[in-house]
Amino acid sequence: MTGVPASATGGTGRPAPRGKLGAVAVNPVSVWNIANILTMIRLVLVPAFVVLLLQDGGHDPAWRAWAWAAFAVAMITDVFDGHLARTYNLVTDFGKIADPIADKAIMAAGLICLSGLGDLPWWVTGVILARELGITLMRFWVIRHGVIPASRGGKMKTLAQGTAVGMYVLMLTGPLATLRFWVMAVAVVLTVVTGLDYVRQAVVLRRRGLAAERAARAEASEASAR
């Protein structure tokens, strides 16, 4: 198999002219694709969300509802942009960088604003942000040994965090206010547990990587000594 689709050879089995084959083989993904556009929308929504949340001192139910709508749209685009990029091969270097930045930015903005308004204890914001920053730095620490994949627990953590922050953005009362407390408690527990699991994976990955490097150096030294 040549890896060239039949359309590139005119369907006759004969190679296409060099110019056409080059055009088919080199097909870079445009930065302006739907997945990246959704990511950019999420980035733009971050300051809009903050402005809406803090209007009239940050305690106006109507403005808080609009802020929740902006936050909800950001969370929805987070679900779809990654799925579209993987499904339709729209992965770009811009998306790899911008997508996690947008994810962290909207969540950090919500947590910090809610704590600043006195709706959420600062220690909750501190735990979640410290975990997110720490895991990001840890990924860079072990990246030369391999990539730590997103786990099911990590996805559950993201869902719990998004749901909890969204519920705190809305000015809920009564049973719903109690419910949001427990949703946030679940989010904090998942944040800590999945963070510890990522640390474990990073340590194992680094040990294996270092062991492989030592084995490769020993093999090279042995080969050169022959």
pLDDT tens, residue by residue, 173-220: 999 999 999 999 999 999 999 999 989 988 888 888 888 888 888 888
> Are 157 and 187 in contact, with CB atoms under 8 Å apart?
yes
> Are 91 and 36 in contact, with CB atoms under 8 Å apart?
no
- Dihedral (C-alpha) 204, 104, 183, 127: value to the nearest 10 degrees? 60
Q: Is 55 left (phi over 0), alpha (psi -120 to 50) or beta?
A: beta
* pLDDT tens for each residue of 67-92: 999 999 998 888 777 767 777 777 77
> Are 148 and 139 in contact, with CB atoms under 8 Å apart?
yes
Mean per-residue pLDDT of the chain: 82
In angstroms, how far is CA 166 from the centroid of its own chain?
Answer: 18
Query: What CA–CA distance (Å, rounded) separates 121 from 49?
Result: 20
Q: Is 133 left (phi over 0), alpha (psi -120 to 50) or beta?
A: alpha
Q: Residue range 28-38: average pLDDT? A: 77
Query: pTM here?
Result: 0.76
